[in-house]
Structure formats: C-alpha cells, structure tokens
Amino acid sequence: MRLLSVRAVLLTVLTLLLTFGLAAFVVQYFDHAATWVEHPSNSHFYKEGKLHSLGTVYDRSGKILLSMEEGSIKYNEDAAVRTALMHITGDRDNNVETAVPIAFRSRLMGWNLLNGAYRFHSGRFNPGQELNLTLDADLCTTAYRELGGRKGAVGVYNYRTGEIICAATAPSFDPLAPPDFDRSPGQYEGVFLNRLFSAAYTPGSVFKLVTAAAALDHLPGAEDTLFNCSGKMQINNSEISCLAEHGEVTLKEALARSCNVAFAQVALELGAERLQEYAEKAGFNTALKVDGIYAVAGRINLAHAGKAELGWAGAGQFTTTANPLSLMAYVGAIGNRGLQVTPRTVADRNLLSRADLKAKKRVLSEDTAATLGQMMRNNTLAVYGEGNFQGLELCAKSGTAEVGQGEKPHAWFTGFLAREDLPLAFVVVIEGGGSGSESAAAVASKVLQAAANAAKVE
Ligand SMILES: [Zn+2]
C-alpha cells in the first residue's frame, strides 16, 4: 500500500510538472515564435545574416515592387518607380524602419504558428508569401517627380475605405544604385526617414482647420461674427501679425485669407483647454497606427501657454507640430462627414484584423464637418483658383509655416475632394517650400489630376 501511494504521489507530481512545462512552452511559443523564426540564425530564411527569401510585394495594379527569393532581390524594373517607392520597399541594408519588408516580415517569410516555416513548392510561391498594397506605383512616381528634389511628403488616401494610394517622400534614392551619401550630406539629410509617417512639422495655417472646428462648436454665432483685422494685434508685449490688413472678416473669410489676427481672437475666446481638446480630437498627441506601423505623433501643449502664445497657437504657430499622415486623416474625416477611417497600405483583407477594417472614429459632428467642408470649398473658389483644380470639387487649406529667422517657411497644402465617385483626401508638405498656396498647391494639383485620370481608367 505504502509503495503504491508513494508512486501515486510521484506520478501526480510528474504529471503536474509535465502540464506546467507544456503550458509554459505554449505561452512562450505564442509569445516568442516570431522572434525565434525570424532570428538571423534560422537558415531557412537567412544566409550570412541577410534574408534570402521573402516573397513578393505588389502595388494596387499588380506591379511588382519587390521580390526576394533564394538570395536574389528584385525591384521594379523602372528606376523612377524604385526611387519613389524606396521608403515602402526599403533599401538593401534595411535602413528604413517603416518599410513593408520589416513591418510584414512574418507574412512575407510565409510562416505561421500552425504550419511553421512552410515553403513554396514546384517553383510557385505559397500564397502566404505575397503582399498586395493599396498604393498606386505610378501615382507615387508622379508625386515624387513633382516634389522636384525638394524635401517633403505627398500623401493621398480614400477617406471612405482608408486605402492610401500615394505615399511619396523625398529625398529618396534608387535602392539598386545607392549614392555616396557623405558626398552631399545636405541633399540626403534624413534620407531613410519616411517623412509622411515619421516626420512632424510646424503646421502654420493648416492648423486653422482645428481652431475653426472648435469655434463652430463652441462660440455662439461663430459664422456671423465679424472680426476686425488691422494687420496686427497687440497681446501683452507680443504682436500677432498678418501679411495684409484684412479689415472686417467673417470666420469663413478669415480662413480663406488666412487671417492670423482673427484666429488669435478666436483662440483667446475659446481658451487653452478647449483648443487643446479639439487638437487632440484631430489627432495631435496620438501616434496614428497604420497596418501595425506607428506614425510619429504631432504635438501640442497649451497647458502653460500665455495669452500671446495661445493666440499664435490658434493661427498654427507656437511650438505645435503636425504629422502629415495624421493631418491627412483629419481632413479625410472632414470629407467623410466627421468620421475618420484609419488609413492603410495593405490590400489583403485577410491580413488585417477586424478592428483594422472597421477602424472608424467620430472626430467631428456631421454638421461641423459639413460647415468646415464648405468653408474649405470656398477657399478654393475665392483664393486658390478653381481653374487649377478643374472638376475636382477641391476643398482645401494652405499653410506657410514660419520655422525661424532667415529660414524659408515650410509649405503645406491639404484637403479633400467633395466627389462621391472620387473620395480622396491628401496632404502635401515641402520643407522650405515657401508659400503653401503656391508651391505645395501646385504639387497637389498635378497629383490629384493624375489620381482622377487613373480612377477613370480603373
Ligand atoms: Zn488679418
């Protein structure tokens, strides 16, 4: 009897140990499988520490952007496409953190938790090793060309579905022929940075879209109020100035003519807390997550802003910074009746979580979005010129962001098309580009016309 009970206890202990061991392994497996499989010592995927089998990445029309098999990397055959898409495909030394081969490594490697590192057979890729993007390679190439060697970013996305069709950022280079970066460090400053996702700039007047939304919601009679602009305004010992004397203006006219004095008055009436609240609703201080990649958050902090600083903040200056992608998502929400659909670059629906596919957020009330949209439409008709955007039903706002004495301001142009058949929102930012309504608007015009033409063909 005694022997039997000792054995029973021993068996129980062993069974328990086995169970705990298995449980621990399963937990570790689900937790760390990706790290184990993707470790450079795994010879299924790596040769001499470099990936030699990754699969194929396509654009929205089926153009090959990148394919990697048995040690050979193939990019698109057109150098202009390779350059314009380099921040998406990455370079050969994996310097671009936001690049798809890094963000979607497991998918491209073609392994999963159930089957492990299964491989393609009889010369054909396993379907697990394909990745289809929403990007239009031709449109990205047009956008990159229109930047004309200037640093900056161009983004275009469908504000109903979230599909990003254009994501171009400069400077860039042909990954098959990398230049000698050290020979012209100025030209290639931050070359591995995807400026659409990973940069943040002083917003200048595009921020007036945030101040205006708060005014529409919280200042009674905001649309009929007349603001008086004598070209400048004294707050304590600081002066807020405009480029011209705007006289008596409504909120709509103040937005079209980008009157700093009117928007400073609006900001003072709203107060710091309210303006901060609307900026955060618009996406400031939150990093936008696109297909698992975090964009950089734009920043605003009005907690300790004095009166003059609050005035400047309302007009888009002060210490506030804006991320181009996040700003594009905000203007997309204005176009989409106040609902923001999270932008994405991946077309394969099975790769996106249900949460990703339904990621919609109310940013503005339907009424506020509609009024703000009409004000942006008026900007085009009254200032930017309908002729430059023929047939696009363009609703937009420009920005010319001062960045310091003696430096040329950054040029912004952002907005959306009020077209049921072409629901696109966009952003253009050019570092040191000067006037937003001139340089950035000209790039937007070319890229949006190209997008409209491509949509006709589709
Ligand atoms: Zn003014």
Q: Is the peptide bond before 409 cis (omega within 30 degrees of 0)?
A: no
178 Cα to the center of ligand 1, angstroms = 47
Distance of CA 54 to the CA centre of its chain: 25
Q: Per-residue pLDDT for 120 more than 60?
A: no
DSSP state at residue 211 = H
Percent of the chain exceeding pLDDT 70 equals: 87
pTM: 0.87
**What local confidence, expressed as pLDDT, does residue 97 receive?**
83
DSSP per residue over 280-340, as a string? HHTTTTS--EETTEEPPPPB---TT--HHHHHHHHTT-TT-BB-HHHHHHHHHHHHTTTEE
160 Cα to the center of ligand 1, angstroms = 35
231 Cα to the center of ligand 1, angstroms = 5
240 Cα to the center of ligand 1, angstroms = 9
Beta strands 293-294; 238-241: pairing state: unpaired
263 Cα to the center of ligand 1, angstroms = 8
397-444 confidence digits (pLDDT tens): 999 998 888 899 999 999 999 999 999 999 999 999 999 999 999 999
244 Cα to the center of ligand 1, angstroms = 6
Mean pLDDT, rounded, for 268-286: 97
Those residues whose beta carbon sits under 5 angstroms from the ion ligand 1 are 229, 242, 246, 259, 261
Architecture of domain 140-457: 3-Layer(aba) Sandwich (3.40)
Closest residue by Cα to residue 447 from 89, 151, 160, 141: 141
**Which two tokens mark 440?**
């950035």
197-219 confidence digits (pLDDT tens): 999 999 999 999 999 999 999 99
Residue 150 makes CB contacts below 8 A (sequence gap 6+) with 170, 430, 431, 432, 433, 439
311 Cα to the center of ligand 1, angstroms = 13
Residue 97 makes CB contacts below 8 A (sequence gap 6+) with 192, 198
Separation of alpha carbons 141 and 454, rounded Å: 13
Q: The domain 46-132 is classified under which CATH number: 3.30.420, 1.10.3470, 3.30.70, 3.90.1310? A: 3.90.1310
Radius of gyration of the chain (CA): 26
345-380 confidence digits (pLDDT tens): 988 877 776 666 668 899 999 999 999 999 999 999
228 Cα to the center of ligand 1, angstroms = 8
392 close to 441: Cβ distance less than 8 angstroms:
no
258 close to 305: Cβ distance less than 8 angstroms:
no
431 Cα to the center of ligand 1, angstroms = 25
Where are the domains positioned within the chain? Answer: 46-132, 140-457
Find tokens 């491509």 and name the residue.
454
